[in-house]
Every structure is written in C-alpha cells, then in structure tokens.
Amino acid sequence: MKNQAERYLTPFFFELLRYLEQGKTGFHTPGHRGGISWGDGWQPEDLLRIDLTELSGLDWERAKTDAERLAAEFYHADQSFFLVQGATQGLHASMLGCFNPGDRVFVARNCHSSVYNGLILADLYPIYIDIDYVPGWGLPEGVNLAALQQAVKDHPEAKGLILTNPTYQGIATRVNAIRQVIGDRILIIDEAHGGHFEWWGKPDYSAFIAADLWIQGTHKFLGSLTQTGFLHIKGPRVDLGRIARSLQWISTTSPSFVFMASLDLNRAYLAGEGRTLFNRSLEQMTELKRSLASLPGIRVLQDGDTAHGERIVDPWRLSCSWLDAGLTGYEVDRMLREEYNIQAEYADFNQVTLLCPPWQPVADLRQLAEAFQRMACRITGEKRRFPLEFRMPVGPVEIAPRKIAFAQTRTVTPEMAVGCIAAEVIAPYPPGIPLVGPGERITAEMISVLRDIQTAGGTVRGMNGRGEIKISCIEGNDD
Ligand SMILES: Cc1ncc(COP(=O)(O)O)c(C=O)c1O
C-alpha cells in the first residue's frame, strides 16, 4: 500500500453514506423502501442478530422447507426455492436443470443478459425469437407470436422457450397465448419484474398460469432484500431432483439467512396485505399517471400504446417520455436527481422509468407529481425530438455460445466484422435488446442499425473504447 493512511479508508461504505445523506426520494429497485414490505414483525437490529449460519442448534433446514412450502402455496407452485443470488441464479439453475448440452431452445430476443450467460453455462443453442416494439417508444413489449409460430414450424426439435414477462417497463403478455404456440415444450418465464398481476385481477398475465418454471426477482419490486428471489416449479414436465441439483452446482454453500428471512417476511406480508394494498393503490396510480399524461409535452406509457392490443402495462411502473417537450430520458433523469432530489430507476434516450410500489409513501408521489408539473412549466416545448426506434435484426446462431466463450477472439471495427461471427453481445440503449448475440453471424444490416443508433445519440454496450467489437477466430462448431 503506497499511502499507509489509506488502510483506514472505506471508500465503498463511505460512498453509500454520502449518497444517503442527500435524502433522495427513491423510485427504484430495491422495492422494499426500508423494509415497509416486511410488515411490522421485525426490528432493524434483528438483521445483524439473525446473520447466522448452519448451526447444529438451529433447526434451519425444517424452517426453510416450511417457508418454501408457504411460498409455493402463495405463488401457486408445486415447489419453490429461495434464491439468494438474484433472479440470475434461478434462470441459470432452470437452464441447467431442464436441458442437455447442445439442446436447441427458443429464446426471446429481449431476454436479460443473465439468460445469454446461461446459454454459455448450460451449453445451449439458442434460436432467437423476434419481439414486438411499442410504436413511438422503441420499447420491447414481448415475443412476436407469428415469429414464434414460424420458429416452432422450422425447429420442431427445440426443447423449450425462455422469455421475459412482464418486461422491464412492465409490459405484460397473456401467457396462455404463448403456451398454445409451443405446445408441450418447457416454458421458462423470467418474471423478475412481476409476481403481482394476479392480486389486482390480472392472473392471465402471470407466469403460474402456463409456465413450467418461473423466476421472480422479488428484490426488484415486491420488496425482499437485494439479491433475493424465488424459483417456482409446477407440473409434470420438470424433474425436480435435477433442478435441485443444478441449483446446488451454482449456489454458495453459505446462503445468507438474512436474505432468506427477508423472503419469508415479505411473502407473509404480501399474503396478508398484498391484494388489499395493490387494489387500494391502483386508483391512486391510475390517477397519478392520468394527471402526468395531461401535462404538455409528456407521454406516459399505458395500456393501448402497445403494438399488440391485448398487452397491458403494470400500473406501478411509470415510464414517461418527454421527447415532445424536447428532453431525452437522460436529461429528465438528471433534472429529477439534481434539481428535485428524486432518483428514478432507469433512463435511456427515449424515456425514463420509475418504480412506485403500493407502499411508497403518498408524500413521495406528491413530490414526484409536483416535480413533473414544475418541469413542464419551465419547458418551452419548442425543441422537438423524436424517439429512437429501431428493429433489431435477428439472425441464426452459427456457433454455440459456449464454444465462442472459450474460443480465441480478436477485435475489429464494426464494418470489418461484417460476415464474421460475433463473440459477445452487442446491445444498444435504447432499446437494450442485443443487436448481435454470441455465435451470430454479423450482417451489413446489423452494422447499419448500429451506426444509425450511434448517430442518433444512443449508447452501445459490447464495444471497446476504440469502438471495436469482438469477433471469433473460429468459423464453425467443428473448428
Ligand atoms: C428481466 C430481468 N431478468 C433477470 C434479471 C437478473 O436479476 P438479478 O439481478 O436479480 O440477478 C434482471 C435484472 O435486472 C432483469 O431485468
């Protein structure tokens, strides 16, 4: 250590305290809002005291089995598993536990990066399914059913489908429509942002209606601690023992009891109060969205905006576009943070998204509404900007992602990469959907979309500091 005094510094901890001192009003993940979503059967000091481990005098195994059984009953599963390594852990265990190396699986193109990593771990061969986009927003809204039907015809050998429902912006699809298309194949639903649709009368949009396995990242919105979630399983298609084994392969041997207790408390709270809370706050959220949408220059994402009319938007997710008032999502995000002390969840060029769980204090919602009104008054509305809307071309995967992951690679300019095999995901924001996946052959159309997005001001992940992308030095699965 160069400077001896440095040994006493705690830069990470200090930064967290510095952030907290600003007293920002948060509309983001995690959704627990300081533990409101755990009811009142606990005390803050309990959290340190219950940080125990697998002690001989502690009947933790029975307690965990009981707690997982109660979760399964509540979420309509045959079996539920606590997750302490995020929704990612459940996705990876599902992929490892349902398929065999080399299997072909349908993968909705808007899946989260954890699914792309899961393809590498489980050595699966993806057949990407194109998705629909919300017109005028450029947001992914769900799997394109015609593309899925075609894929099922073209690839009868595919063993299952992995998709995200609802989307990050809360757009939900009726899951039975998907089940009808894929028949008896395994259906894995990434429900990281869902779990609550049933409680306000929309069960048809919930994974449990049709999925064999579904994964909830309950820390994101439903209110358990960061890193926690559930893997739920239902029906005869899944080998429970294999899933349990797969979970073991990728899990820590020291799961946090604090995390698991938060899952237990949160489930009990929602089982007791969930329906009442969600139904009571539904009207409030509808009214908030209606009043914000009436401000000049502001659009609020709502039912009816989607390309596919049956889709609905989560009332507790607020996605707004200020482009008609001349502001990008990035600019609105910065203004909210710096001028109104409000922290949003996510922003891209087109829009900004805020999370408002039903236990969000009413004063916070008022603060948000006032901030929007003040911002709308200040903005002249003269400047006009248009949403970045791009369809991401989807190509066939020519080399398995796992093979690519361990192959030699090199970096080249995007133009030089045309005709080569991509070694990594390249994902522009917006819309945050991979333009190219690992193992996919890069086309001139893909690069033209990439350049259009950059020209229009979008950001791209998967390029190095020199604007280059990684391609594979091997050309085929047998190289
Ligand atoms: C749709 C979706 N799935 C999975 C994940 C991964 O969840 P986690 O961070 O809990 O592992 C995320 C994270 O943002 C997500 O948005």
Tokens of 48: 């340190």
Tell me whether residue 190 is in a domain.
yes
Question: Does 425 fall in a domain?
Answer: yes
Cα 430 to Cα 447: distance, rounded to the nearest angstrom: 16
The pLDDT of residue 254 is 97
Q: What does residue 185 show for φ and ψ, rounded to 5 degrees?
A: -70, 160
428 falls within a domain: yes
Task: List, for residues 72-93, the tens digit of each pLDDT value.
Answer: 999 999 999 999 999 999 999 9
Question: How would residue 458 be classed by pLDDT, with cut points 50, 70 and 90?
Answer: confident
The verdict on residue 296 lying in a domain is: no
Q: Is 215 in the pocket of ligand 1 (CB under 6 A)?
A: no
pLDDT of residue 395: 87
Q: In whole numbers, what is the pLDDT of the chain averaged over residues? A: 95
pLDDT at residue 479 in the model = 57
What is the distance in A from the centroid of ligand 1 to the CA of 215?
10
pLDDT at 345 > cutoff 80: yes
- pLDDT at residue number 309: 87
Show which of 221, 250, 268 is a domain's final residue. 268
111 close to ligand 1 (CB < 6 Angstrom): no
pTM: 0.96
User: What average pLDDT does this structure show over 438-453?
Assistant: 94
Tell me the CA–centroid distance for residue 57 and ligand 1, in Å.
35
With a pLDDT cut of 90, the percent of the chain lying above it is 91
Name the residue range of residue 410's domain.
401-472
CA of 155 to the centre of ligand 1 (A): 28
Split into its structural domains, the chain has a count of 2
In a shared domain, residues 264 and 411: no
192 lines ligand 1 (CB under 6 A): yes
DSSP class per residue in 49-82: HT---S-TT--HHHHHHHHHHHHHHHTT-SEEEE
Q: Determine the pLDDT at residue 385.
A: 81
Boundary of a domain, candidates 268, 293, 315: 268
Provide the b/e sequence for 389-416 (b: ≥16 CB within 10 Å): bbebbbbebebbbbbbbebebebeebee
* 363 belongs to a structural domain: no
* Predicted confidence (pLDDT) at residue 478 exceeds the cutoff of 60: no
CATH of the domain at 437: 3.90.105.10
Asked which of 268, 290, 309 is the last residue of a domain, the reply is: 268
pLDDT tens per residue, range 134-193: 999 999 999 999 999 999 999 999 999 999 999 999 999 999 999 999 999 999 999 999
pLDDT mean over 392-410? 94
Q: Give the pLDDT confidence score for residue 383 in this predicted structure.
A: 66
